[in-house]
Chains A and B, each alone.
Chain A
Amino acid sequence: MKLETQVHQKNLVKWAADKPEVVVFSADLTSSTEVRLFAETYPDRFYSFGMTEQNMMSAAGGMAREGFTPWVHTFAVFLYRRALDQLQMSVAYPNLRVRIVGFLPGITTPGGATHQAIEDVAILRAVPNLTILETGDATDVETVLDVAQAVDGPVYIRMLRGQIPRLFTEPLKLGRARHLKKGTDLALFTAGITTEEAMRATEVLEARGVSISHLHVTTHKPFDDPAVLEAIAGARYGVITFENHTTVGGLGSAVAEVMAEAGVGKKLLRLGIPDTYAHGGSRPYLMRYYGLDALALVRGVERLLGEKLGIEEEDLKAVRLEPVHGDYKAEAL
């Protein structure tokens, strides 16, 4: 598995070259959100708003009304927490083509509670008209741009920055999870950075005889991929969701809603940040502390199956990941 850096920084400039309607808004975090190169390459299409996120969000709505597509970049917390009223009334209600790019999802920052977007999906799932996307690797980060730009309405993207693994080869598709493994014991749904951890865990779990259907979810809303119920239907022991987000209102809740509405009576284990604020620290430390790493998933699988599998940290570390094709077709399991 290859790690790549500054994926969005480089890709956005290339992607926007033939799209004069694309403008970038930034709130004094231009380098931190990897839009410095865009600002230097297309100074006429770059708008600095300083630390005025509420004002920036409303202005993005105004510019979108005139036919431009503002790509609003800053840390996610300042978009859905500080500017939520503006996001709703200046952008979401009028169904405007604003692309809200939120960085530092979950515990991907050492910045502590003020910087960690741990409940953004929960809050924004409740916002009408809004499409919610999440990226989990370099290919997602690159190809989410086309997907978002094609949506006739506002889009929120949980974006990754810095060093990112390249896990997938195929472009992201709206409303379609990446089907990474097929199996009959468990259905596993992951999103964002938990997918890489899960890919490590499922390699070892499979070797121990656990058959898993693993889907990497990139569209949180609308959450209507038929592959979700198909995977659940084929899971003998139950369902696990594993997200870089609190266990309230995010992917786990979305899957629970789908199961309940379909009348599926299976166990559901929601793994994620356990309904708590987090604190600052390194990413490996935080992933261990809040139960977001491969070992936490293995322990979850053991709970659901009701048996110990004898898997330890060394077994997980030994896994070598290769980029996968990822199957979108909802084939019979």
Chain B
Amino acid sequence: MSWQEEARRVADGIRRRVTDFTLKNGGGYLSQACSSAEILATLYTRVMHLGPSVAPPVPPPFSGVPGKNANYTTGAGYNGPKAPDLDRFFISPVHYALVLYATLVETGRMAEEGLAMFNQDGSTVEMIGAEHSPGHELMAGSLGQALSQVIGIALARRERGETGRNFVFMSDGEFMIGQTWEAIETLAFYRLDSVIVYIDANGQSADGRIDEVMRIEPLKDRLEAFGAAAVEVDGHDVEALARAAGTPHPGKALFVIARTNPYCGVEVLAERAPRFHYIRFTRPEEKEALRRFYLEKWGENREA
């Protein structure tokens, strides 16, 4: 299988698994899977240099928060060991947690049983990821804080002479936030070219279409004006997504604006426009339509 085929297989698996959970739970962050499946699939299968997972395939249950808790660990181990020459991955919009968990399963970093713990009481496989959740390393649920935290990590890694890059996954809604722009000017000030940000630019936020909520465009021009390198790609084109990481950006952080569609691959959602943030079924027919779509596209729903 070519890497492109593998990336597309992972992306399809992400959509299938998140659709499955949305049906099971009676709702979920499904449009985020539709828009970001190729981004995460391409990052994990082609772009990032990560070692194999060093975390237990089935995530341990919740054992307490950091502080007076000797056994505490973050979920970073699913992204491989920390090493000077390896890349690191940080997710910022952690309501994409299920999309990330599905990515970990599809790439062999987490067992399928781990996914079954999603949103179960006492589990770390939480709906809104915390730093103990698989694949997570930072507290990022208060949007706009992860990029600044990565600045601290990237400064420390540079101080130690490490060559690994620092990948951050962000959503376009986070570019409404003042702290995001503080972070971007700081990336420029410290010439932190070890930081590469992939933005799921699906044009959606909680209230609906971003352009009806707040003005963030023209994003590429804004990023460049703030001293970053920026490139715009079709966020469902795995080759374009992979190529974007190779954009020369000496002395600058690189932002890949992945233009995406919030119902790509699950087209039955299209009629929900303009509201995609959290898919709810208000009528039984809606759930039935998604179930039928699932059956036609992926066959019998194994878990249901």
Contacts and interface: CB of A to CB of B under 8 A. Distances in A.
A66 B82 CA distance: 11
B151 A62 contact: yes
Interface residues of A, number: 32
B139 A70 contact: no
Contacts of B157: 66
A60 B178 CA distance: 18
B142 A66 contact: no
A128 B66 CA distance: 10
A105 interface: no
A55 B182 contact: yes
A9 B150 CA distance: 29
B186 A59 contact: yes
A64 B152 contact: yes
Interface in A72-93: 85-86, 89-90, 93
Interface string B151-188: 11111110110000000000000000011001101100
A54 interface: yes
Contacts of B119: none
Interface string B181-199: 0110110010000000000
A68 B151 CA distance: 13
Contacts, number: 100
B139 A94 contact: yes
B178 A63 contact: no
Contacts of B155: 47, 59, 62-63
Given A55-B151, A64-B152, A66-B156, A89 B179 contact: no
Contact of A55 (B67, B142, B156, B179): B179
B186 A49 contact: yes
Interface in A258-297: none
B152 A89 contact: no
B131 interface: yes
B20 to A, nearest CB: 31
Given A50-B185, A66-B152, 14 more contacts: A48-B189, A50-B189, A52-B179, A52-B186, A55-B186, A59-B148, A59-B151, A59-B186, A62-B148, A62-B150, A63-B155, A66-B160, A94-B139, A95-B67
Interface of A: 44, 47-50, 52, 54-68, 70, 85-86, 89-90, 93-95, 128-129, 153
| Those 10 A-B pairs whose CB atoms lie nearest each other, nearest first | A62-B152, A58-B148, A66-B156, A63-B152, A55-B182, A52-B182, A59-B152, A62-B149, A95-B66, A62-B153
